[in-house]
A and B are shown apart, each in its own frame.
Chain A
Amino acid sequence: MGVLDGRVACVTGGTRGIGLGIARAFLDEGARVVVNGRDPAKADRTMKELGAGDRVHFIAGDVKTREVCEAVVDGTVSHFGRIDILVANAGGAADFAPIAELPDEPLEDALRWNLWHSFWCMRRAFSYMIPQQSGRIINISSVEGKVGKPGLSSYVVAKHAVNGLTKSAAKEVGPLGITVNALCPGVIETDIVKEGGAGAAAAMGLTYDELLAQFAADSAIKRINEVEDVANVAVLLASDAGAGITGSLISIDGGTSPY
């Protein structure tokens, strides 16, 4: 018997990294899960890995557009009949540069990827959760939602905004049986970090390895975090035990964030 038996979850960016870890943890606890991702080829591999049969369903699309975000939420409801848990997990940033040299486009892209995506998915999910007077929204933010880093302003700004959205939304739906929280992980060596990390490091004047070393040095545990660290907290928030936790920006960063 799992703590999420009978629940239906939707995880954006769920074919790898943190999203995949959350999808797996939810499936282990008895939930049915919709996984979204850009690449159907990666999804085939992911579905095989998960081995959860008809308890998992893939919906393709890039969450940087409203149509996709809404289709992923609607598709969850049409496939499994309801939506109990939304994990707005996809996100990242690219083309990092110091603010003095930063064009508009990378900031716009980061806002679409992190902030608009969370907003579009959350708004659509509320249209189902408010009538049913129950639900869980989990935004995957970052330690960069609480602290700044030079050269990474697009990402830092977008994640801070996600944290603000989380807190406002929590107050709006607090009495309706819906919780809204953000998880703020430290750096984790996911595929997306491996792909974009070199660019981020360069904007900070570091190599990729130096960037990881600096994040580890900023923490208390002196090592980077792991996908499972985040998934385990997501399960708690998604379960009945998480009913009294909302509007929280939970640090899963090995003791990095000052608050």
Chain B
Amino acid sequence: MGKLDGKVACITGGTRSIGRAMADAFLGEGAMVVVNGRDPAKGAACLQEMGAGDRAAFFPGDSSKQDVVEGLVDFTIEKFGRLDICCLNSGGVQATAPVFQMTDEEWELEVDWNLNHVFWGMRRALQHMIPRQSGRIIVTSSVEGKLGKPGLPGYVATKHAVNGLVKSAAHEVGTLGITVNAILPGIIETDIVRETGPASAQAMGVGSYEALIDLFCSESSIKRPNKVEEVAAVAVLMASDAAKNMTGCLFPVDGGTLPY
């Protein structure tokens, strides 16, 4: 018997890394899961690897687009009859530049991916959850939702904004059986970090990708990167009945990095 038996979840950016670890953990606890991702080939491979048969499905598309995020929520409800857990997980650093050099277009990329995606998904999910008086919204934020880093103003600003959105939403739906929480991971060597890390390192003036990872580790207490499974375990807790009274929480999984 799993902690999420019969529950239905959807996860943006769920074919790899943190989102994938959430999907695997949710499936392991008995849930049905729709994962979203940009690349249909990765989606097919993900479904095959998960081996969950009818309990898993893939919804393709770029989660920085409104129609894709809303489409994921709608598809999940159509496919499995309901949506209990909405994980707004995708995001990252697309635009690296100091503020004085950042263009509007670059800024918009970050806002759409990290903030608007969460808003669009949350709004659509809440429209379904409020009448049912139950639900879980879990947002993958970041330690950069509380700290600043040079060269990544779009990422830092949008992750801060997401944390604000989570707290406001938690107060709005707190009495309706719906919780809204954020997980704030420290650095994790995910596929997306490996892809975008070199550019981030350059923008931050730390030289190499390895130096960037070392910097984040040195800022932590555990002196190592975090792991996707550590985030997934917290997501399972937030998604389960055990966390029915935890909401508006910015839950760090950062090895002791954040000062508050």
Q: Are B251 and A226 in contact (CB under 8 A)?
A: no
**A221 and B256 in contact, given A246-B221, A247-B221 (Cβ under 8 angstroms):** no
With both chains docked as a complex, state the minimum distance between the C-beta of B249 and any C-beta of chain A, in angstroms.
Answer: 5
Q: For chain A residues 243-259, which have a beta carbon within 8 Å of chain B?
A: 243-252, 254-259
Q: How many A-B residue pairs have CB under 8 A?
A: 115
Q: Fill in one digit per residue for A157-170: 1 if any B CB lies within 8 Å of its CB, else 0.
A: 00000000001001
Q: Is B44 part of the binding interface, using a Cβ–Cβ cutoff of 8 Å? A: no
B145 to chain A, nearest CB (A): 11
B100 is an interface residue with CB less than 8 A from chain A: no
Contact B242 A248 (CB under 8 A): no
Cβ B253 vs Cβ A244 within 8 A: yes
How many B residues have CB within 8 A of the partner chain?
38
Chain A 199-230 interface residues, beta-carbon cutoff 8 Å to B: 219-223, 225-226, 228-229
Indicate if the CB atoms of A247 and B246 lie closer than 8 Å. no
Q: Contact between B170 and A255 (Cβ–Cβ < 8 Å)?
A: yes
Q: Which of A229-246 contact B (CB under 8 A)?
A: 229, 232-233, 236, 239, 241-246
CA distance A173 to B223 in the complex (A): 10
Q: Which residues of A contact B240 (CB under 8 A)?
A: 232
Within 8 Å CB of B189, what residues of A? none
* Bound Cα distance A226, B246 (Å): 10
Contact between chains at A220 and B174 (CB < 8 Å): yes
Q: Nearest Cβ distance between residue A196 and chain B, in whole angstroms? A: 22
Contact B221 A229 (CB under 8 A): no
Please list 9 pairs of residues, one from A and one from B, whose beta carbons are closer than 8 Å in the complex, sorted by A's number: A174-B255, A221-B245, A222-B174, A229-B246, A236-B233, A236-B234, A244-B253, A251-B248, A256-B248
Known interface pairs A221-B247, A241-B230, A243-B222; 14 further A-B residue pairs with C-beta atoms within 8 A, sorted by A's residue number? A170-B256, A179-B222, A220-B171, A220-B173, A220-B174, A220-B175, A232-B242, A233-B243, A244-B254, A246-B222, A248-B254, A251-B248, A254-B247, A256-B248
